[in-house]
Structure 1
Amino acid sequence: MAREWSELSHCTRKKVGAIIVKNNMIISDGFNGTPSGFDNNCEDENGETNWYVLHAEANAILKVAKSTNSCNEATLYLTLSPCKECAKLIHQSGIRRLVYLKGYKDSTGLDFLKKAGVIIDQIKEEDFEKK
């Protein structure tokens, strides 16, 4: 389902989706993109990502923060493993498990989450395609 959400992104370089599940219910979702009220242009004229673009997991966590729900003990499903900045948000939000599809170029975020005790699982692309 995170994969479906990634397709909603207007970013051209990377399309990332996130789903947060707690007690077998989806409590939030997100995809990478610009903040509310901004044009949906993720990249500048040179093709570089604009600094203010929010990552999918940050969008999903922020949606929970604005609601009556909590991420505590939840599972986060991502199409791309988190960067180090988002890893801090994941840990501080109380998410206890991360399931991701593809690895981000920098594994520092995953290393941080492992050290923090977050359970991490990667779904292999070929296994995902069989289902």
Structure 2
Amino acid sequence: MLETGFMEPNNVKRPELDDRPSWNEYFMELTSVVAKRSTCLRRNVGAILVKERRVLATGYNGAPSGLGHCAEVGCIRETHEVPSGERHELCRGLHAEQNAIIQAALHGTSIDGAILYCTHQPCVLCAKMIINAGVKRIVFAGSYPDELSTNMLKEAGVELTEFSK
């Protein structure tokens, strides 16, 4: 009998505990859903900040609030054929990691000691923000060719874990 006093139907299928995703799988699946909100023409990235198995903030890459999306106004980096990982300052968008950190700050949520889950490995710009924000661990799915980012995160003691299911 359920706490509400109603009998539970016999045909209700209860999930086996073995069928449940691990916490890392669960949070990485959430990053993929968040990435679907991305408005970037080149790469759809999603990030979530987690502490004590609770989601603190989410972020995806795209133009700042209230500004036209790249799909509407075009992409300077595409127009000038700027290679991936170079000349970040030419992009009108924010990265998913930056947006997650900003959202936490806007809502007064401390992310010190948090874990960042992200669809991609952070670039050096995001790595610097992640270090100063106090994030202690990053779990990412897709690697990103940014040796400086990796070196800085390691030097700062931020654990980098490439996710594999």
TM-score by length of 1: 0.88
Correspondence for 2:67 = 38
Q: Report percent identity of matched pairs.
A: 36
| Cα deviation code 1:37-62 (max 9, x no counterpart) | 10111623716685221000000001
Deviates more, 1:33-42 or 1:49-58: 49-58
Matched, 1:97 2:129: no
| Cα deviation code 1:81-111 (max 9, x no counterpart) | 1111110000000001100001112232122
TM-score by length of 2: 0.71
Q: Give runs of aligned pairs for residues 1-131 of structure 1, distance below 5 A.
A: 1-41=30-70, 43-44=75-76, 46=79, 50-124=90-164, 127=165
Residue type at the aligned position of 1:97:
R
Aligned residues: 125
Give the gaps of 5 or more residues in structure 2: 1-29, 83-87
In 2, the alpha carbon distance for the partners of 1:16 and 1:51 equals: 14
How large is the RMSD of aligned CA atoms in angstroms? 1.6
Residue type at the aligned position of 1:92:
N
What SS class does the counterpart of residue 26 from structure 1 fall into? strand
Give the gaps of 5 or more residues in structure 1: none
Q: Which one has a larger percent strand, Structure 1 or Structure 2? A: 1
Q: Which one has a larger percent helix, Structure 1 or Structure 2? A: 2
In 2, the alpha carbon distance for the partners of 1:39 and 1:73 equals: 34
Q: Work out which of the two has the higher radius of gyration on C-alpha atoms and give 1 or 2.
A: 2
In 2, the alpha carbon distance for the partners of 1:103 and 1:64 equals: 25
What SS class does the counterpart of residue 99 from structure 1 fall into? strand
Deviates more, 1:106-115 or 1:15-24: 106-115
